[in-house]
A = this chain, B = another copy of it.
């Protein structure tokens, strides 16, 4: 039996990634763990393609569908340009819901300068909730392509914004009434607003423009720790990170404390994880400052071993990606 959620990496590798149709030389990057966008050779440029569905959101589905796919394209150093949306609606649905999905997608696409070029819209008899499958297509100069698998020992690791921001925002919305008495309205309102920081397009493109980036990734399920693990698998390297240097917003820390979950394992769309050559650090810092994006240098890439150092010593991490959002949404609040 497969678990609910994204199919585990070992099953993807064993069942999915080995049968991918014809082998074409023009495929620069195909399906691989931690690599969320494909790269194909289009003559004078690379075209980057990312497909991700939105299955869990109760509102803003169209908006998420644009941003998560744009993020996956942007971490390749590519500009997101063209989007298709397959909108699948539950039965007995009003035109109002379709209107909302389309409007949200339109707003997000306007923000990013992306054109929605096509797709498909259908009412599906056996659906109880809407599902939107997006595919974003972008492009990048051949010399500026970045992969998640390009990190090398000695590189410096940096992240933007703060860990668990997406999870904190979801929890604040979904459990507002229960949490408000424990943490207060202000914390929840501010946490909810973190959803507005979900895009990494600006910082990914600014960083790639301003310096030689060796790898980028946007940590989603599994949070910052999951993202670090995926980057290290894709790059076949280890990392040594100072846990204290990973920024966590006070609101996120408070919500996670109450629910007993680790903010570093909380879904983190909006955080950009990047590695840069040691000599490129000054340029990277300048690029992110100029772009007006908050960031932190959290550690370095090493040959092997995945180590997070904290006040209680070193934590050694394996391959397993653990997402704490589901626990946080279910756990009793005392």
Q: Which residues of A contact B (CB under 8 A)?
A: 1-7, 11-12, 15-16, 19-24, 26-27, 29-31, 35-38, 40, 42-45, 47, 49-53, 55, 66, 81-89, 91-95, 98-99, 102-103, 105-106, 108-110, 112-129, 131, 133, 135, 137, 139
Nearest B residue (CB) for A52 = B120
Is A5's CB under 8 angstroms from B37's CB? no
Is B128's CB under 8 angstroms from A126's CB? yes
Nearest B residue (CB) for A22 = B113
Is A27's CB under 8 angstroms from B98's CB? no
Is A19's CB under 8 angstroms from B84's CB? no
Is B19's CB under 8 angstroms from A117's CB? no
- From A92, A93, A102, A108, residue with most partner B Cβ within 10 Å: A102
Is B121's CB under 8 angstroms from A81's CB? no
Given A20-B106, A84-B38, is A121 in contact with B7 using a C-beta cutoff of 8 Å? yes
Is A22's CB under 8 angstroms from B109's CB? yes
Is B124's CB under 8 angstroms from A131's CB? yes
Of B53, B103, B123, B135, which one neighbours A122 at CB under 8 angstroms?
A: B53
User: Which residues does chain B contribute within 8 Å of A95, judged by CB atoms?
Assistant: 2, 11, 15
Is A49's CB under 8 angstroms from B137's CB? yes
Report how far A42 CA is from B82 CA in the complex, Å. Answer: 11
Report how far A109 CA is from B31 CA in the complex, Å. Answer: 15
Of B27, B44, B50, B110, which one neighbours A21 at CB under 8 angstroms?
A: B110
Is B84's CB under 8 angstroms from A4's CB? no
User: Which residues does chain B contribute within 8 Å of A81, judged by CB atoms?
Assistant: 24, 26, 40
With both chains docked as a complex, state the minimum distance between the C-beta of A31 and any C-beta of chain B, in angstroms: 5
Given A52-B86, A115-B21, A123-B7, is A1 in contact with B38 using a C-beta cutoff of 8 Å? no
Is B118's CB under 8 angstroms from A37's CB? yes
Report how far A50 CA is from B105 CA in the complex, Å. Answer: 18
Nearest B residue (CB) for A81 = B24
User: Which residues does chain B contribute within 8 Å of A51, judged by CB atoms?
Assistant: 84-86, 118-120, 133, 135
Known: A31-B119, A42-B42. 8 other contacts (CB 8 A): A15-B98, A19-B116, A42-B139, A43-B45, A44-B44, A51-B86, A55-B124, A135-B135
Is B123's CB under 8 angstroms from A126's CB? no
Nearest B residue (CB) for A99 = B15
Report how far A185 CA is from B18 CA in the complex, Å. Answer: 38
With both chains docked as a complex, state the minimum distance between the C-beta of A5 and any C-beta of chain B, in angstroms: 6
Report how far A30 CA is from B116 CA in the complex, Å. Answer: 8
User: Which residues does chain B contribute within 8 Å of A55, judged by CB atoms?
Assistant: 88, 122, 124
Given A109-B20, A123-B5, is A27 in contact with B86 using a C-beta cutoff of 8 Å? no
Is B82's CB under 8 angstroms from A27's CB? yes
- A–B complex contacts, Cβ < 8 Å, 21 sampled: A1-B92, A2-B94, A2-B123, A6-B122, A15-B95, A19-B106, A20-B106, A21-B114, A22-B110, A23-B115, A24-B113, A24-B115, A31-B117, A37-B118, A38-B118, A50-B84, A51-B119, A53-B88, A53-B120, A127-B127, A131-B131
User: Which residues does chain B contribute within 8 Å of A37, judged by CB atoms?
Assistant: 118
User: Which residues does chain B contribute within 8 Å of A82, judged by CB atoms?
Assistant: 24, 27, 38, 40, 49
User: Which residues does chain B contribute within 8 Å of A126, judged by CB atoms?
Assistant: 127-129
